[in-house]
Amino acid sequence: MNRRELRKRATIRDVALRAGVSISTVSRVINHKDSSQMRDSTRERVVDAMTALDYTPVKAARDLRRRRTHVVALLVPDISNPFFSLLARGVEAAGSKVGYSTLICDSNNSEDEEQQHMSILLRQNVDGVILVPVGRPDRASLERLDRSNIPVVTADRRAPGIPHVEADNTGGSRDLAKCLLGLGYRRVAYLGGPQEVSTAEDRLQGFLDGLAEGGAAPVAVRRGDFTYDSGVSLGTEILRDRRLDAVVAGNDLMAIGVLHAAIAVGRRVPEDLGVAGFDDIQWAALVRPRLTTVRVPFLEIGQCAARALVALILSREGAEEQTRLPVSLVIGDSTCAQGKT
Amino acid sequence: MNRRELRKRATIRDVALRAGVSISTVSRVINHKDSSQMRDSTRERVVDAMTALDYTPVKAARDLRRRRTHVVALLVPDISNPFFSLLARGVEAAGSKVGYSTLICDSNNSEDEEQQHMSILLRQNVDGVILVPVGRPDRASLERLDRSNIPVVTADRRAPGIPHVEADNTGGSRDLAKCLLGLGYRRVAYLGGPQEVSTAEDRLQGFLDGLAEGGAAPVAVRRGDFTYDSGVSLGTEILRDRRLDAVVAGNDLMAIGVLHAAIAVGRRVPEDLGVAGFDDIQWAALVRPRLTTVRVPFLEIGQCAARALVALILSREGAEEQTRLPVSLVIGDSTCAQGKT
DNA sequence: CTGAAAGCGCTAACAG
DNA sequence: CTGTTAGCGCTTTCAG
């Protein structure tokens, strides 16, 4: 016999009744917590009644009236990826600080699922969404978004016409390139990420710029898909060129793949070959030798995106805001600290 | 001048008007998609009107009527931890498959924040919550939970009186112990996790059982907090005992810490020392030598928990269900494959 | 300072 | 097969 309490949840009416006031008075103490002028005794009676009845307002009802749900959605390609989960933490933290809950959705790296989730989200009446697009959003979905008239900001990756928050990928990559040149590396190859991801493009471009500024150029440029496996296979392939003295990957996962590929073919890192990545994911700390990389502030990106989104929600200003957060070089053991040659 | 469309969102009324039917007819086509018998021409007119007006029902209104939000919450200690984010993926996937959205909250490893989030969640009127408790929930919060009358299941970790889904930690750990004995290890130490986490206790107990069944006993048992750092420090400490031939940690993070500590003090793994962990987190795959560990199906735990929760929601059966998912040994290079001694 | 009343948009009986 | 109607629980003018 489990004590299934069928007694319904107390409503604002019940509270009003018990406190001997009208429901609007109760509503007032719920909402205008501080300001509203009201006889203290009244407020007290209401508060007492609320606690006595263990009252808690029904969100759906408030939402219905106020036309606002206080829920934002975060749509990422893969929540089990360390950067996205850190980003999620940031969004959640910054959001909850200002009274927003975060609906986290996983597009499973599929544009289809992304679309699908998006339309569900709009239907869910979230107040806004933070999107990390899987690829380059197409015209149609962008329009659908626009029509829906709900605020969207993208994080980490850009999409045309949508406010975004990202790291300074170009700058970080440029610095990395210069740093490598400074260390004496000359014959470097670059393994970039997928073309349709703005982040990958920026990093590649920044790297090329950095090299160019030092009067150098890459020995080779290849494209992978940002996975460990693609790092291994591209690494193995590219390392056939024995004259290479450094390989730089567009992200840490690929860099680690290269690292392992290098070890597998008997090149010592960093003595024979320098390796560098990008992201500074936590995992990287567990890999030996420690990876030289660029720290991307994912948590901060999340927080920043959440704040930007909430700002958009509160005052529907159409400004195409864009934020670029600074990154920082992390010199590990996968490059020679004291210089090469 | 941005084209700010102030035209309000279409409501069910608008659709009805445009289709020349009553709102209940519209409601019918929205809800009883398939079954409901209705003249095809009518349905078509309604559907046309809906698409023409770009109509999408207001969730708050439906929720209010149906007393169900179709949202479940997942409350984890740290979403950026690989097991929890995998678990989250599982919940999300299984949930969305049956029409549920997932609100992911991060208790930031703090019981306080956990409490706080919990009460917000209840207020949010989620239909249920999947909880990974930070510690051992105290009496008061359990009661509050119970009073709230909303279904809760815990995942990965147990809490008294709450249905739960977990891995077979005891069994996996027992198997691991036997396996090590089988490989010839004799003087093994165990580094467990925090006492207040059921998972840690189960793993320790299972390990002791396994050793006992083989007529052995641990040389030493210590407790850490499941972090990499605690693995390093405990490992360093315990490795002073040069006669140790294996160290088993309660999770992979600690095991990796031990691995690095061992290398730092000049012990070769696995030649001089066997090391094993538990979880089989993705990260582990990036560490060399590859870790011997026990694969815990986090994704499946998430899925299973979501399904259990939804079942609970749909038919409020008080059954104290408990599910224990099987785990599997993963033999890596951090133990001698061909036997020791 | 407090109460009465009008809905928010939708669903679900209950009548045709 | 379709329309009418009565709220779900709450916020918010508008009057006292």
pLDDT per position as a tens digit, B265-286: 999 988 889 999 999 988 887 8
Q: Which residues from B are below 8 Å from A69, CB to CB?
A: 59-60
Q: Which residues contact B215 (CB under 8 A, 6 or more apart)?
A: none
Q: Which residues contact A70 (CB under 8 A, 6 or more apart)?
A: A63, A99, A100, A101, A127
Cβ <8 Å between B104 and A106:
no
Query: Strands A128-131 and A293-295: what pairing?
Result: unpaired
| Angle ∠(B63,B69,B75) on CA atoms, nearest 5 | 155
C-alpha–C-alpha distance, residues B332 and B295, integer Å: 12
- Which nucleotide C1' is nearest B16 CA? D3
Q: Which residues contact B8 (CB under 8 A, 6 or more apart)?
A: none
Residue given tokens 């090391």 in the structure block: B275
Q: Which domains does chain B have, with CATH numbers?
A: 3-66 (1.10.260.40), 71-167+298-325 (3.40.50.2300), 169-296 (3.40.50.2300)
For residue B160 the two structure tokens come to 């008294």
Minimal CA–CA distance to A138: which of A175, A112, A164, A105? A112
Cβ <8 Å between B59 and A104:
no
Residue B256, chain A, CB below 8 Å: the answer is: yes
Residue given tokens 């030649």 in the structure block: B271
Minimal CA–CA distance to B282: which of B298, B260, B270, B269? B298
Cβ A288 vs Cβ A79: under 8 Å: no
Query: Closest residue to C2 by CA to C1' distance?
Result: A25
Cβ <8 Å between A318 and B4:
yes
- Amino acid at site A21: V
Q: Which residues contact A216 (CB under 8 A, 6 or more apart)?
A: A181, A186, A188
Q: Which residues from A are below 8 Å from B117, CB to CB?
A: 96
pLDDT in single tens digits along all 341 residues of chain A: 333 344 568 899 999 999 999 999 999 998 876 666 778 888 888 999 999 988 889 999 999 999 889 999 999 999 888 889 999 999 999 998 888 989 988 998 899 989 888 888 877 789 999 999 998 888 888 887 777 778 999 999 998 889 999 999 999 999 999 999 999 999 999 999 999 999 999 999 999 999 999 999 999 999 999 999 999 999 999 999 999 999 999 999 999 999 999 999 999 988 889 999 999 988 887 888 889 999 999 999 999 999 999 998 887 655 567 889 999 999 988 898 765 55
Measure CB to CB from residue A123 to each of B59, B147, B260 and give the nearest one.
B59
Residue B80, chain A, CB below 8 Å: the answer is: yes
Instruction: Write the DSSP symbol of residue A284.
Output: G
Q: Which residues contact B129 (CB under 8 A, 6 or more apart)?
A: B72, B73, B74, B75, B118, B121, B150, B151, B152, B153, B309
Whole-structure pTM value: 0.87
